[in-house]
Amino acid sequence: MAQVRHRELERETYVVIYGVQDTLCECMGGDSCSMHVKCEKMAFTGVLAAFAVILLVLSAVIETSSLFLIAAAAFCVGIVLREWGIRAGAAFLTASFLVGLIVAPNRLYCITFLAMGIYLVLSEILWEKVAQSSKIQKKTVAVWIGKYIIFNAMFIPVLLIFPTLILAEEAVEKMFWIVLIGAQAGLFVFDKAYMYFQVFIWGKLRSKVMK
């Protein structure tokens, strides 16, 4: 059984690698043949997608580090967003999420990954819009306000409608506001960690892998 499961995971990894590569080529404005050169230059993106899926699988195995591993998988989405734009990042997120649903043991973690990825996609769109606007003077403040609006537009409905996904049923009433306030701090930490990753980690690795 273990050998069969291993082969299934291996096949799904190949699906991610080749499927995401073709999707990204199309997102760059051409078919797989005419964009062959560009696809070769970004072939590592398929491996990155497989890596993101592996992180999702591990998040269900190493429960003590689940949030860290899910966030790391979402940071892979951020790499594609920064390198190839919104469409490619959204395609990468969609492909990784769908394969994650198939191979990852915990689907709730896959949904958490999807929510983090959507937040990053919308945040990048927000930053582009704010940066292009000549009417907004305090751009950093505007971006942070927008980020909190994006986050709470996703988080609060879940907390209100499906509180037991986050809290034990007996703790919903007592912990509601604590969780809501704590989530705001959690968003700040997540966003700062993402920016640190982009600047200091991916910034250094980029020259080595993007050849």
More confident residue, 71 or 38: 71
At 37 the pLDDT is 44
pTM over 0.85: no
Return the minimum-mean-pLDDT range out of 10-14, 53-57, 150-154.
Answer: 10-14
Whole-angstrom distance, CA of residue 164 vs CA of residue 153 = 18
Query: Average pLDDT of 76-98?
Result: 93
Residue 113 has pLDDT above 50, yes or no: yes
Q: Which residue has the higher pLDDT, 118 or 30?
A: 118
Sign of CA dihedral 86, 91, 94, 100: negative
